[in-house]
Structure formats: structure tokens, C-alpha cells
Amino acid sequence: MKYTNAVNNNCSAVTSFFKNTLLLYTAIMYITPEAMLFVLPAGLYFYMNGTLTLAHFITCIILSFGLLSPLIQAMTYTDGIASMGTIIN
């Protein structure tokens, strides 16, 4: 009985955690790669108008690719830390 209660409490804690964080995590995972859909057209628009140099435009493209992987990794760590806090409580 004691083990069953511990398993049920753990299950409810994990379920509660995912209900609170999964929507935000999923939204960010879909929106972040879509940032290139904004960077390329906006950059081309500003480049064609002469308000953005080619060097700055290429820098923006490189930065938008370079920020994706660390952001996903940081979100993974955040999920781990949040789940530990939920389990401890």
C-alpha cells in the first residue's frame, strides 16, 4: 500500500508538471525554427532598401541559426530542474 501511494503520487506530480509546461515547450519548439521565416524576408527587405548591409544581414542569419541549439538545450535543463522541484515538493 505504501509503495502504491508513492507511485500514484509520483505519477500525479509528473502529470501535473507536464500539463503546466508542455504547452509552452511545444510552442517554443515550433516557433523557434520558424524565426528564419521572419529573419530572411525581413533581412532581404531591409537589404533591398539599403538600410541593412550584406555583412549585417549575413550576421543576423548566422546568429539566428546559432541561437536555436543553445536555446533548446537551455529549455531541456529548465525542464529537468522544474521536474526535480515538483518531485521534491
CB 21 within 8 A of CB 79: yes
More confident residue, 35 or 39: 39
How far is the C-alpha of 63 from the C-alpha of 69, rounded, in Å? 11
Q: What is the mean pLDDT of residues 5-24?
A: 84
Q: Kindly report the pTM of this predicted structure.
A: 0.45
Q: Is the pLDDT of residue 4 over 80?
A: yes
pLDDT of residue 78: 74
Q: What is the mean pLDDT of residues 25-47?
A: 79
How far is the C-alpha of 79 from the C-alpha of 42, rounded, in Å? 32
Choose among 29, 30, 54: nearest CA to 44.
54
Q: What is the mean pLDDT of residues 69-76?
A: 73
Average pLDDT, the chain: 80
